[in-house]
Amino acid sequence: MENNSKKILETIFRLDPGVDLTQEQQDDLFTAMSPRCLVEAFLDTEFIGLRDQYATLKMDSLKDTFLPLKDNIKLLEQVAEVILKHLKDMRSQLCKGEIKSDLLRVVPILFECPAFDRPDKEWGDRIIRKMAEFLILMHETAKRNFDVLVRWWDADSDILARVIKVYVQAYRNLVKCLFNSKPISTDNLYIQMLTILREINESLGYKVPVNQFYIRQPGYEETNRKIEILILQLHQQHLQLSLLGLLPLGNLLFLLDVPLKWKMLRIEFNDTSLLHFTKTLNDILLKFEETFGIGSGIMFLIGSRHLKIRPEPLTLRFEIDDDKEKVVESAISKVECKNETSLLLPFEVYFKDNVSLGVNAGGPMKEFFSRLFEELFNVGKHSIFKKLDDSSSCTTLWFNKDSKELDKLRSVGKLFALMFYNKVIVTMPFPFLFYKKLLGNSQSSFEDLKLLDPGMAKSMGTLLEMSDDDLADYSFTVQGPLNEPEIELKPAGKDEAVTTANVLEYIELYARHYTASSQFDVFSESFRSMFRRFTLHRLFAPQELMSLFQGGEYDWKAFQGSFGYEKGYTANHRVVEMFWSVFHGDLTEDDKRDFLRVMTGADHVPIGGIQEIRPRMWPMGGDEDCKGKSPKDMCPEVNTCHGFIVLHLPRYKNREHLKERLMKLIEMKGHGFHKLVE
């Protein structure tokens, strides 16, 4: 019977929708869907020697067999009932301590059945729920069996991705039912299952991208919108998030996408800033009344408001030197004397000798952080960072182990935190390991070495192939900084030779030394001291934090579509069409990214996609703008002090003038505009 199972299933699954199964066909279906028959039908015997490490299933054949069943709802229901019966029988066998690896193969086989894609059907919800109960029980009572599944998921992430997809779909359907006031189960079974899957995925080094866990997915816009509204409302009210007891916030965060998490965090930042502002104001008024009597505080407040004076302690106000060469020293001198509490106050930036930038907390703030980190990342001027390798094409930076400027790094950590807290995102040239360690969930190891320096990791891996004679020149030491002694990787390491017996220990210790950085530790501790209350490590996975600072894919047509046109300009205006002709036809990819940096302060795609920028284009070229000059002598201006981004574009007469001035704006990175060209 086992050899015929696949043929029987293919025959039954290809029946016309709506056809009733005969009793004989029902019996054949039940037998062919038994664990033993399914495994026998789809086991890949060519790789039988790898059966402990891999599921060794004929996955393509399995998918092809189940495919015709996808739209046959009536037959799917009958198949679901058969699966339920077999799951009950499997429970007693697989939820014990004995290892049943051959029988376990039925788990990835069953997940390929389209019945698991129908949580919207009562029978679909039942088998998905029953499988969750089965897997959770195995996880709790038969760890050795469950570990076999994990080993297969590690070897083939597609199998793990399928399980995740099933339970994300099921949970999304549960939320949708809740919004539609349909009766639902409140046993948190899906959350339990997804939590286990998240922990496994993390332990396996994120074999499946974290975005596969998001309950907001393309194609579910109405549900997505309702989820966002509900979560933001409850989060803003500082309530424990629970959809009628269903969604505790702590168990839900990994199911939320980065744009939604970023909105939640921005609300938290705004509330914290307002809280500290209010507390500081109350302290000032109290001290004022203690000194000058009751009622004097109110008079002081009225007078300050009338004169448009904000007492210095109520805000964090930076007056920064407009000279680009001095921005680092100017910023560090401002922040090094500030404690974490003062950094949480509303932040204002003022550039000396540059009236056009003003003190508004939008454009000047972005300009400040953009200039600051652009300078700090110039390794020719500042030695706290270095390139990962010496090639001219390398743009990735890491912390310089030879740097002794720990106080400077401590201040840079504060400035990085200040930037993030004030919702400004500047492109960061750091590798994935930076975000992993910043969230505090990484111990230095060989896996970290792979993330930081794949070339070095590959070189260290070759040591495993060496003989004792080849390793004779190695000891548990590494070369120290210039003019300093060598460093022992372990006590008495200089006296211990590396051999084939201890080479793994040597590689691991070397990797820890290579990736560990006291400079990073100083930076990260300074950063985290400001964010302890926000528990970033619970909110973001490293990939998500990295996406905040490096963005997604560039879609320049979507960028064009995000523009609004006002004050006489329209999408069909001659100058506007000429601008986009130059942008798409003459600018290189690097030019476009530099223009994006001019517009937003960062050259990466913002959270939510490039269409989220939503700038506006206004004409520039009247008498008031040009002061008698021709529009061709004007350069475009980018202004963010209106509370939104505006590109002021002169009314150029010809394409070459527009191209020349636009390239000048990009070359100058927007600094110093709005200015007349002499």
With a cut of 80, say whether residue 351 has pLDDT above it: no
Q: What is the pLDDT of residues 303-319, one digit of tens each?
A: 565 545 555 567 888 88
Distance (Å, rounded) from C-alpha 498 to C-alpha 507? 10
With a cut of 90, say whether residue 574 has pLDDT above it: yes
Q: Report the pLDDT value the prediction gives residue 241, as an integer from 0 to 100.
A: 43
Q: Which strand (E) or helix (H) includes residue 226?
A: helix 221-236
Backbone dihedral region for residue 567 (phi beyond 0: left; psi -120 to 50: alpha; all else: beta): left
Q: What is the pLDDT of residues 119-147, one digit of tens each?
A: 999 999 999 999 999 999 999 998 888 99
With a cut of 70, say whether residue 256 has pLDDT above it: yes
What six digits make up the tokens of 371?
Answer: 């200039």
Q: Report the pLDDT value the prediction gives residue 117, as an integer from 0 to 100.
A: 96
Beta bridge partners of 657: none
Q: Which of 22, 123, 127 is nearest to 73 (CA)?
A: 123
Residue type, 268: E
What six digits make up the tokens of 190?
Answer: 């899906």
DSSP 87-110: HHHHHHHHSSSS--HHHHTHHHHH
- Which long-range contacts link 211-215 to residues 24+ away (Cβ below 8 Å)? 211/257, 212/161, 212/164, 212/165, 212/168, 213/164, 213/168, 213/254, 213/255, 214/168, 214/255, 214/256, 214/257, 215/168, 215/171, 215/172, 215/175, 215/255, 215/256
Q: What is the pLDDT of residues 655-667, one digit of tens each?
A: 999 999 999 988 8
With a cut of 90, say whether residue 274 has pLDDT above it: no
Q: Report the pLDDT value the prediction gives residue 52, as an integer from 0 to 100.
A: 67
- List of residues 6+ apart from 235 with CB closer than 8 A: 241, 249, 264, 267, 268
2-11, 354-363, 518-527, 625-634 — which is least confidently predicted? Answer: 354-363
Distance (Å, rounded) from C-alpha 581 to C-alpha 350? 36
| Residue whose structure tokens are 């504060």 | 414
Report the mean per-residue pLDDT for the chain: 84
Q: Report the pLDDT value the prediction gives residue 239, as an integer from 0 to 100.
A: 43
Residues 532, 535, 537, 540: is their CA dihedral positive or negative? negative
State whether residue 460 is helix, strand or coil: helix
Question: Please, which pLDDT band fits residue 186 given cuts at 50, 70 and 90?
Answer: low
Distance (Å, rounded) from C-alpha 537 to C-alpha 255? 15
With a cut of 50, say whether residue 242 has pLDDT above it: no
Q: Report the pLDDT value the prediction gives residue 75, as an integer from 0 to 100.
A: 95
Q: Report the pLDDT value the prediction gives residue 495, as an integer from 0 to 100.
A: 87
How far is CA 69 from its chain centroid? 37
- Annotated active-site residue 641? The verdict is yes
Q: Report the pLDDT value the prediction gives residue 33, as an integer from 0 to 100.
A: 94
Q: What mean pLDDT is predicted for residues 28-43?
A: 93
Q: Report the pLDDT value the prediction gives residue 125, as an integer from 0 to 100.
A: 95
Looking at 293-405, list the stretches that DSSP marks H as alpha helix, in order from N- to C-terminal side: 296-306, 327-335, 340-343, 363-376
Q: Report the pLDDT value the prediction gives residue 195, as an integer from 0 to 100.
A: 94
The answer to pTM > 0.85 is: no
Distance (Å, rounded) from C-alpha 473 to C-alpha 494? 11
pLDDT top residue among 669 and 153: 153
What six digits make up the tokens of 301?
Answer: 């407040």
With a cut of 70, say whether residue 622 has pLDDT above it: no
The single residue of 337, 394, 635, 641 carrying the catalytic annotation is: 641
Distance (Å, rounded) from C-alpha 166 to C-alpha 153? 15
Most confident of 177-186, 386-395, 636-645: 386-395
Q: Report the pLDDT value the prediction gives residue 655, as an integer from 0 to 100.
A: 92
**In the chain, pLDDT over 90 holds for what percent of residues?**
40
With a cut of 50, say whether residue 243 has pLDDT above it: no
With a cut of 80, say whether residue 172 has pLDDT above it: yes
Q: Report the pLDDT value the prediction gives residue 389, as an integer from 0 to 100.
A: 81
Q: Which of 62, 55, 132 is nearest to 101 (CA)?
A: 55
Q: Which strand (E) or helix (H) includes residue 351?
A: strand 347-351
State whether residue 164 is helix, strand or coil: helix
How far is CA 342 from its chain centroid? 28
Question: Please, which pLDDT band fits residue 356 given cuts at 50, 70 and 90?
Answer: very low
Q: What is the pLDDT of residues 365-424, one digit of tens each?
A: 888 888 899 899 999 899 999 998 878 778 889 999 888 899 999 999 999 999 999 988
What six digits make up the tokens of 458?
Answer: 């590959």
Q: Which of 374, 379, 376, 373 is nearest to 392 (CA)?
A: 379
3-state DSSP helix/strand/coil % of the chain, to nearest 5: 60, 5, 35
With a cut of 80, say whether residue 109 has pLDDT above it: yes
Distance (Å, rounded) from C-alpha 115 to C-alpha 126? 10
| Residue whose structure tokens are 């600018």 | 587
Most confident of 70-84, 585-599, 614-628: 70-84
151-165, 267-281, 616-630 — which is least confidently predicted? Answer: 616-630
CATH entry 3.30.2410.10 includes domain 556-667: yes
Domain ranges for the chain = 2-241, 556-667
Distance (Å, rounded) from C-alpha 55 to C-alpha 48? 10
